[in-house]
Amino acid sequence: MTQVLIVDDQEQNLYLLQVLLGTYGYAVRSARNGIEALEMARREAPDLIITDILMPGMDGFGLCRAWMADEHLRRVPLVFYTATYTDAQDEALALSLGAARFIVKPAEPDAFVEAVRQVLANHAAQRLAPDEEPRPTDEPFYQQYNHALIRKLEAKMVQLEEANRALERDIAERKRAEAERERLLAQVQAQAKQITQIVESVPDGMLLLDAAGQVLLTNPAARRDLAVLTGAEISARVTALGGRPLAELMAPPPSGQWHELHVGTRTIALTAQPISSAAAPESWLFITNDITELRDQQRYRQMQERLATVGQLAAGIAHDFNNIMGAIMLYAGLLEKAPELAPRHQRYAATIRQQADHAANLIRQILDFSRRAPMERNAHDLLSQAKELVNLLARTLPEHIKLSIRYDRNEYIVQADPTRLQQALMNLALNARDAMPQGGRLTFTLSTLTLAPGQPAPLPDLGPGPWVRVDVADTGTGISPEHLARVFEPFFSTKAPGQGTGLGLAQVYGIIKQHEGAIDVTSQMGVGTTLTLYLPLCAEPAAAPAPASAMDLPTGSETILLVEDNAAARAAVGEALEGLGYRVVSAGTGHEALAALAEPGHGVALVLSDMVMPEMGGLELYRRLRAAHPALKLLFMTGHALAEGGYEELAQAGVPWLQKPFAVADVAARVRAVLDA
C-alpha cells in the first residue's frame, strides 16, 4: 500500500486529506511541522510527502531543503499544497528546491487525487529509466536487488516488444532493438554476477531451498554452518537442521526472531523467510549465524555478576566468623600454655586450637573467593613457582598420573602474592587428581599473550597489554555442561558428599580476580578439563625472597589502647596482650577510645583498633587520631584487605594491620614491631 506523509499544522486540513486519500486506498500518516516530518520519514521513508508552507518550527520551504539534502529522502517526491500562494515566485521557489508539484488550495478532490497519482506515476517511471541503476532501499539486500532487477527487466521487455513490432516497418529499427537487447543482457549478466559476489561475501549464512527442501543456493558461511547442523557436507536435499524438521524452523520462534540450534558445543541462530513470485513456486531463504562466542560471553558475564553477588554475601559472613574464631584461637592458645592445666586438658585445648585453625582456613577460602583477603603482592617469577609445584606434585601424586610442564620463555614475571598463587595452583592440581581416579595426564602450560587496543580478547575481562596464560589440563572424567557454569560458586561441588567443601575453585576464582586476572574453564565429558588463568605480565624483575622470621614471642610493658566492639574478641585479645606483659586499656567504640586518650597521663603508646565498628569505624578513628595525636602509633585489625571497602587511604599511608583471625604469636610479633619502629 502506498504510504503518504501529510505535513500541516491545521487539524482540519489533516483530517480532510486523510479522509480523501484514505478513500482512494492510500495509507496516510501526518506530522504537524517539518521537524516532526523529518523524524518520521527517517524511521520509515514514505512513498510521497504533501506539505503546507506556513508551519511552526520548520516551514514547508525549510522542510523541502532538508528533504533534498538527505541522500535517501530526496528520492521520495515532495508536493506543496498551500493556500498562501500570492504570485509565481512561491511556485518557482518550490520547484527550484526540487518539489515535484505545487498545488494551490482549494483544489477539487478528484483533481487533487489525480495530481497525486501523476506524481507517483512520474516518480515510478523515473526510477525505471533505462540507464538508471537500482537504488538501495531498507529491504534486505537480496530482496532489494531481485525486485529492482525484476522491475527493470519488465520495463526493458516492454521496450523490446515495441521494437519487435517496429521491425516489420523499419529494418534499421530492428537492428537498433537487437543491439539494445544485447546491451541489456550483458547488463543483467553483470548484475547477476555482482549479486553472486555479494552473496558469497556475506558473513551470515544464506541457504535457499524450494518447497521440497531442494538446495537452490548456498554461500560459504551457510556451508560452514550446515556442516555443523547436519553433521556432514551439504547435500542436494535438506529435511532437518540441528535435529529439528524444516517445517518447525519455518514457523516463527516462540520469542524473538531467531531459532537457536545447539549442536555439541556450537550454537547456531537461524531464521527463515518465504520467497514468492508469480514465475516460480514458493521457496524459503534460511539465514544462519554462528553465535557460539556471543552466548559464551553472555554466560561469562552472567556468571561474573552472580559470583560478585555471592561474594559480597560471603564476605559479610566471613567477617563475622573471624571475630568468633579469633576469640576461640586466642583463648585456646592461652590455655595450651597455662602451667596449672592438666596435660589431658592441654591436649583438649590443642585440639580446639587445631580445629579453629581449620575453620579459619575455611574463612580464608571464603575471603579469597570474595576478593576480600589481604595480599602482599610483589614481582614474582611464575615459572619458578610452577616448576617447584610440579616437583612437589611428582612426589605426592599417585604414580599413574603423569606430570609435565611446558613453557616458551625463561621467566614469567607477575605482581603476585606467592602464597595465594601457590594455593590456587595447588587447588587446581588436586581437583585434577580427583578427576583421574584411574590415572591420566596433568599438564601445566605457560605462555604469553599480547592484546592490542580493539583486538578481540579470549575473555571480556582482559584489556590491552601483555598477559601470562597458564593452562592446567587433565585427561579426567570432565564436567557436565549443566555443572560447568557453576563450578566457581562457593559450596558447589560435583564430588560425593563428604569428599569436598566446594570452596576449592571458588577460592581460585577469588585469588585470580584479586590479582587483576581472569579465569576460564572448558571441559568435555570423558575427555578432560582445562582451567585457564590469565595474569598481567610484569616488566620488573622478581623480588628476592623474604628472610625467615624469628619464632620467639616478643613481650613488652607499654600501655595499649584496645578498641574492639565485639566483647568476646575484645576480652580475648586483651588477655593475650596482658599475657605478653602489656598494660591494656579497653574501649568498645571509637568515641570511648577518644575519651580515654583525652584523660591526662593516659600513657598510651599504641592504639590497636578493629576496622568495622558501629558509630565510628576504624577509618574515621584513624583520621581523628592523626589530627589530634599525630605521634601516636597505630595498628588495625581487619577481616578485609585495606584496599577494600574504602580503606585505600590507610593502605596508601602504610598503616600496619593484622589479619583476623590471628594467633598469639601473630599479635605479639606485630605489636612489638610497631612499637619498635
| CATH code (residue 229) | 3.30.450
535 band by pLDDT with thresholds 50, 70 and 90: very high
Same structural domain for residues 382 and 531?
A: yes
Residues 194, 210 within the same domain: no
| Inter-residue contact 220 to 230 (CB < 8 Å) | no
Of 201, 229, 253, which one is at a domain's C-terminal end? 201
Nearest to 145 by CA among 154, 133, 130: 133
* Number of structural domains the chain divides into: 6
In angstroms, what CA-CA distances link 15 with 48, 77, 83? 17, 22, 16
Model pLDDT, residue 672: 92
Provide the residue count of the chain: 677
The answer to whether residue 575 sits within a structural domain is: yes
Distance CA 14, CA 336 (A): 96
Does residue 548 lie in a domain region? no
pLDDT digits (tens, 9 = 90+) for 278-297: 555 578 888 888 888 787 77
Domain stops at, among 501, 536, 571 = 536
Task: Establish if 150 belongs to a structural domain.
Answer: yes
Candidates 523, 526, 487, 483; CA nearest to 504 is 487
- What pLDDT, in 10s, does the model give residues 167-176? 666 777 767 7
Mean pLDDT lowest for which of 136-145, 233-242, 290-299, 645-654? 136-145
Within a domain: residue 544? no
Reported pTM? 0.41
Q: Same domain, yes or no, for 147 and 104?
A: no
Quickly tell me which residue has 516489420 as its cell.
168
Q: Is residue 70 domain-resident? A: yes
Claim to verify: residue 305 and residue 435 sit in the same structural domain: no
Average pLDDT of the segment spanning 20-42: 90
Q: pLDDT per residue over 318-372, tens digit each?
A: 666 766 777 787 777 777 777 787 888 877 887 887 777 767 666 665 555 444 5
Residues 602-658: pLDDT tens digits?
Answer: 899 999 998 888 888 888 999 999 999 999 999 998 866 554 555 677 777 878 888
Domain presence at residue 136: no
Kindly state whether residues 402 and 279 are assigned to the same domain: no
C-alpha cell at 14: 489533516
Q: Grade residue 134 by pLDDT with cuts at 50, 70 and 90.
A: very low
Confidence grade of residue 229 (pLDDT, cut at 50, 70, 90): confident
Q: Are residues 509 and 607 in the same domain?
A: no
pLDDT in the model for residue 527: 92
- Asked if the model's pLDDT at residue 566 lies above 90, the reply is no
Residues 563, 520, single domain; the answer is no
Q: Which domain holds residue 329?
A: 296-369
Assess whether 479 and 587 both reside in one domain: no
- Residue 501: Cβ within 10 Å count: 15
Kindly state whether residues 522 and 586 are assigned to the same domain. Answer: no
Q: What is the pLDDT of residue 87?
A: 67
Q: Write down the pLDDT at residue 532.
A: 95
Which tens digit of pLDDT belongs to each residue from 577-592?
Answer: 988 899 999 999 999 9
Asked if pLDDT for residue 166 goes beyond 70, the answer is: no
Q: Which CATH number does the domain housing residue 100 bear?
A: 3.40.50.2300
Same domain assignment for residues 320 and 184? no
The pLDDT score that the predictor gives to residue 498 is 47
Closest CA to 392 of 419, 423, 439, 426: 426
Judge whether 273 lies within some domain: yes
Q: Are 51 and 118 contained in the same domain?
A: yes
**Statement: residue 547 has pLDDT above 50:** no
- Across the chain, what does the average pLDDT equal? 80
**pLDDT, tens digit (0-9, with 9 covering 90-100), for 51-60:** 998 888 898 8
Query: Domain boundary at 536, 569, 584, which?
Result: 536
CATH code for position 399: 3.30.565.10
Task: Report d(CA 97, CA 82) in Å as an integer.
Answer: 16
Phi, psi of 271, rounded to the nearest 5 degrees? -135, 150
| Banded model confidence at residue 491, pLDDT cuts 50, 70, 90 | low
Domain assignment present for 549: no
pLDDT at residue 208 tops 90: no
**Residues 209 and 192 placed together within one structural domain of the fold:** no
Residue 305: what pLDDT? 66
Residue whose entry in the numeric block shows the C-alpha cell 555442561: 481
Give the residue among 212, 228, 215, 216 at the shortest CA–CA distance from 288. Answer: 228
Which pLDDT score is estimated for 604? 93
- pLDDT > 70 in the chain, percent: 80
